[in-house]
Amino acid sequence: MLNIRTLPIGRWLFMLMFFVMSCPALAFATETMVGGAPLKPWWFWPVILFFFCLILGVLAVMAGVGGGVLYVPLVSGFFPFHLDFVRGIGLMVALAGALAAGPGLLRRNLANLRLALPVALIASTFSIVGAMLGLYLSRLNPNLIQTCLGGTIVGIAFLLLFSKNTEKPVVTKQDAIGLALGLQGVYWDDGARESVEWKTHRTLLGMFMFILIGLLAGMFGLGAGWANVPVLNLLMGVPLKVSVATSKFLLSITDTSAAWIYLNRGCVIPLIAVPSIVGLMLGSILGVRILAVAKPKFIRYMVITVLLFAGLKALDKGLGLGILG
Amino acid sequence: MTAMDDQALKPSKDQIIYANLLLIGMLSGIVIMTITYIIYVTGLLSSHIDMSVIATHWGKNIHEYLEITQSPQGWGWLYLLGKGDFLNYIGFTLLGVLTIICYLVLVRGYFRQKNWIFFIISVLEILVLSLAASGLLGSGGH
């Protein structure tokens, strides 16, 4: 007999993920079979969405990715909501998560204000442009934005799979812009029991990259932690801990500007936005607790696989191939 | 560890104020969102758009959806605060303005320190976020 107590937590999470992924897909299939008016009562999808987001929040924490990057491709792929609403709510989800993490990161001095402020200005400005462009393209040709989203998600999956971040990058000489802005600091490394000094290099190139990050974040409502960290860490030479913390804090600024564009446009429907935000936040809290006993590496590969599938599904939908249903 | 190191490891006073404001605002936002959502779904306040109508049209793009449901754009929701669905916008708005409020603390701090580069960056950020929030860019366009 199967002893459920002995099942490893990773397998439990895999089963939960499978269950949650299959729920909306099956429900959607029965709903669209009949066609015309939906058969389900109005509360059906918000309830499914809440539990879906709860699990998504757990998995996001364990995989080390933001909620937005999982929310948009999965919800747009498996729920009956239009991509306009999913992107708008995706940004609200990413924003709420970043706002929740911000206080702790600032108090521990892990998120660096000096580093965040200049790049946040660039990213938030261009996330407005991205959001407006996304809404314009969506009106022009919805398949175009779906295809671009699919391509971006597939790219993110590969980025998560292959990028090898460096714990403490070696920066021999700080560049002039980094020096002028004072983009250097010191943080306490609990593991090594030492204070670590850091400074940036290739600052100008890094800032240019934040133009692209802002555009993508606004256009697809993805949040942008997946892009912030490699740019800060691998390109600008910021230690990984500071990069991750500053990136999370950055999202609270970048996503605010793009979220306002979607909010003002009416893309944030309360009926589905609140279960998404609250579900993901509760899931994140649970995820932090489970993290202590689970194997995050396994979860990370599982999430990357799901992300890859969701990206291919969006590509399939956008290009009208119909291979993945 | 030297005393200088110790000082550098500590967050600045403004950073702590920023963190505290963020925490209070974020928690208030979540609580408000939860309460207003309960009021909305339990029907304590009537809705501007019937929930079954939303469920019928949430698969349509935003332009069609707005036309069908006659929903307001920009800050038009303020006129519908008595309706359960638009009451939820109080929580969303709080989350949206939180960063702007926190930046005001930074502006004051950088002004006192006469750190003009970061003072200008912070002022510009407030302007960018305020422009996004104003509704001048995101709404309209029918």
- CB proximity under 8 Å: B 53-82 to A: 54-56, 58-63, 65-66, 71-75
Q: How far is CA A223 from CA A208, A227, A247, B66, B141, in A?
A: 18, 9, 10, 25, 25
Asked if residue A5 has pLDDT above 60, the reply is: no
Q: Greater confidence, B94 or A304?
A: B94
Contact: B41, A82; criterion CB under 8 Å: no
Give chain A positions within 8 Å (CB) of B93: 263
Collapse the DSSP code of B17 into the 3-class scheme (helix H, G, I; strand E, B; otherwise coil) and give the result. Answer: helix
Q: What is the DSSP string of A199-231?
A: E--SHHHHHHHHHHHHHHHHHHT--SHHHHHHI
Q: What residue spans define the domains of chain A?
A: 44-319
Instruction: Look at the block and give the residue holding tokens 């897909």.
Output: A25
Q: Is A242 on the interface with B (CB under 8 A)?
A: no
Please give the pLDDT value at position A229.
87
- Gap between the terminal Cα atoms of chain B: 62
Could you tell me how many helices (H) and strands (E) chain A has, helices first? 12, 2
Per-residue pLDDT tens digits for A242-292: 888 898 889 889 989 999 999 999 999 999 999 999 998 888 888 777 766
Higher pLDDT, B54 or A287: B54
Q: Please, what is the angle between helix A270-291 and helix A67-78, to 10°?
A: 130
A252 contacts in chain B (CB < 8 Å): 22, 98-99
- Percent of chain B clearing pLDDT 70 (strictly above): 91
Kindly state the percentage of chain A with pLDDT values over 70.
85
Query: Which residue in chain A is spatially nearest to B133 when comparing CA positions?
Result: A260
pTM (2 decimals)? 0.86
- The burial of B68, by beta-carbon neighbours within 10 Å (0-12 exposed, 13-18 middle, 19 or more buried), is given as middle
The answer, for A264 touching chain B at a CB cutoff of 8 Å, is: yes
pLDDT in tens, A12-26: 665 665 555 555 555
> Among residues A250, A242, A118, A228, which one has the least CA distance to residue A186?
A242
Percent of chain A as helix, strand, coil, to the nearest 5: 75, 5, 20
Min Cα separation B108/chain A (Å):
15
Between positions 267 and 306 of A, the ones with CB within 8 A of B are 267-275, 277-278, 281
